[in-house]
Amino acid sequence: DSRGRSSTPLKNSYNNMYNSIKKSQIDSLQKNNWNISRRENSSLIDIQASIKHLTNEPSKIHIDFLSRFELFENPSEKFWFLMLEDYEGTSDSSFSWNEFQIQSLAAALDKSDIEKVNNFWENHFPIAMSVKSGYAYLAIKVHGTDAGVIVCGSEPEYEEAMIISPSLASLFEILTDHV
């Protein structure tokens, strides 16, 4: 694809797919030409170990998603979910998994700005990126009373994010309702 990833076509087998992301949702996205490839031979333990150093609160649904897929992007390749290889730094993507935190830190004017940026990203774990109309991302909030919600942020102020979904499972309902 445009970010240099190779992929294996999605198979009809959804062994033990976590109930929160339904086969019908994946099928709907595929019917609408989303590029989706299933990961082969990966264990949940490997995934959790790979991202544990990035976030102390990995979502079970997100770990399951990462263990099941190696490519998940819209037909234009301008919106994609971050995959295990992105978090490990082994993908050929020109974007780092924490690209927008890096950009915000580079634009910070003083220690107070740096602290605000770091506090935000310590509480939000990026799961998807978009370059459709400028730079944007989706992230899971990992701490607080609303932990698990999905937020969306965009340039130029990435940290001014808004909640768009109460959960990752609900996000997939939204995606399938709008394809």
Enter the tokens of residue 41: 């031979």
- The burial class, CB within 10 Å (0-12 / 13-18 / 19+), for 178 is exposed
Helix ranges, the chain (H) = 23-31, 44-52, 60-68, 84-88, 99-107, 111-122, 168-177
Q: What is the pLDDT of residue 56?
A: 66
Please work out, in degrees rounded to the nearest 5, the angle formed at the alpha carbon of residue 56 by the alpha carbons of 123 and 14. 100
Instruction: List the one residue out of 161, 136, 143, 159 whose CA is nearest residue 151.
Output: 161
Dihedral sign computed on CA atoms, order 58, 154, 99, 94:
positive
Q: What is the pLDDT of residue 4?
A: 44
- DSSP letter at 54? T
Which residues, given as ranges, of the chain have pLDDT below 70?
A: 1-20, 42-45, 56-57
Distances (CA, A) of 147 to 12, 67, 140: 32, 22, 8
Q: Is the peptide bond before 75 cis (omega within 30 degrees of 0)?
A: no
